[in-house]
Structure 1
Amino acid sequence: MSLNNGKGKCRKEKIMAINPLHAPLQPGGPMSVEEYLQLDRSTLDGRYDYVGGVARLMSGGSVAHNRISRNVANAIEDHFLTGPCTVFGSDVQVLIGVKASGRQHYVYPDATVSCDVADRRLDNNLIRLPRIVVEVLSPGTEVFDRGKKLAAYKACDSIQEIMLVHQFAPIVEVYRRSEKDQASWQHVVYGPEQAVELRSVDICLSMDELYRGLNFDEPQLEE
């Protein structure tokens, strides 16, 4: 005897064959810009950086990582109540164009500052002329952030300063492009009780602003 009298009966499953030529793209290996953009736009559960022809899935951050990223963006934005510059959060994609090599990198920094009119358009979804990029360091991404990603940032003509913000101690590193020699960079490390200077936009950020809501006396679980 049927319990449902045929009502609500499951339909027979359709087994779909996957055409290898149209199989989903997999990150990790070399791919073209077009292939990367297809991958990034079709992925609903994450975002990908594309540096050196390779796509890298951006892992989810800790509560501390998220809070610091938000603090940095808010602290910078407080200084931009007037003027031409705008700060963007981690969900805005940035195009890193390298004129010397013609290469293109696509990244999602934790925060980005642009002073370009076109970048500030409300219908814009890609920052093309970043002036400052910010990365909050995590154990899982620090090698990449300090290596290939940092090199890509330095090769971008529009970027004047790069902030590397430590997650488990009030330490901020700033790579600043030299005014006398655009090909060289100064590396400045700011510690507790020091203000972080961003000369390209003429502002200073206190450690209290950047690390608001974090207590370093409490044990932190690394990502």
Structure 2
Amino acid sequence: MYSEEEYLRLENDASEKSEFFQGKIVMMAGAAPNHNFINDNVVGLIHPFLKAKSCKSCSSDQRIHIPSNSLYTYPDIMIVCGPKKHAELDRNTITNPSVIFEILSPSTSEYDRGKKFRLYRDIESLQEYVIINSLSIEVEVWRRTVNNQWLLADDAFSLNDSITIQTIGATLQMADLYDGTENVSGLFPAPKE
């Protein structure tokens, strides 16, 4: 078991990223090309919507901390609206994301949809959680209601569809999200025999 202080000291000197939860340190897996293409596409697509707002995006090298449940992790993409708040023990760690995007891969899909999403719900500032599948055309936008419930507010399963990120007033086309990806279920016709 590690303390938060020990984790931060080790993590700040490490060459690879790891998560921390309730005293345990878990190495994070690297990303496949589709994951990286989608990540870059999302960052490029949301950037114009952030310019007129007090919001900024950060990619997967930005650590967040959830004090109420101890998780330190690195979302694939997050948007912070308003002034950044920093973790008590580390000024390089943010505690107040407004939107989090996770791009699913086979090794992270169950965790990102399940336990990690439950942990993210403890972030008081979080308004939307966007799950993007890197292997099939599938995007879900979960949104916090005024009653602090989480509802599936938007989803899309076709390149002709779009999703809306309400926090920043952005409508994103699925074809743009998946641009440059390969072998994604639904993107290409089955090979001819």
What band does the TM-score fall into relative to the shorter chain?
0.7 to 0.9
Superposition deviation, residue 53 in structure 1? 3.5
1:56 aligns with 2:26: yes
How far apart in 2 are the matches of 1:165 and 1:31? 32
| Aligned twin of 1:186 | 151
| Per-residue deviation, 1:86 | 0.8
Q: How does 1:1-223 map to 2 (within 5 A)?
A: 30-44=1-15, 46-98=16-68, 103-118=69-84, 125-179=92-146, 181-182=147-148, 184-187=149-152, 188-192=154-158, 193-215=160-182, 216-217=187-188
How many Å apart are 1:207 and its aligned residue?
0.7
Which structure's residues are more often strand, by fraction?
A: 2
Q: 1:202 to 1:97 in 2, by over 3 A?
A: farther
Deviations 1:19-53 (A, max 9, x none): xxxxxxxxxxx432112212212211x10122344
Q: Which of structure 1's runs of 4+ aligned residues deviate more than 3 A?
A: none
Which residue is equivalent to 1:13? none
Q: Taking structure 2 as the reference length, what is the TM-score of the superposition?
A: 0.85
Flag structure 1 segments of 5+ consecutive residues without an equivalent.
Answer: 1-29
Whole-angstrom distance in 2 between the partners of 1:152 and 1:143? 14
Highest RCO, 1 vs 2 (Cα 8 Å, sep ≥ 6): 2
Q: Would you say how many aligned residue pairs link Structure 1 and Structure 2?
A: 180
The AA in structure 1 aligned to 2:167 is S
**Unaligned ranges ≥5, structure 2:** none
Largest Rg, 1 or 2: 1
Residue identity opposite 1:212 in structure 2: D
* Compared CA separation, residues 201 and 53, structure 1 to 2 (3 A): farther
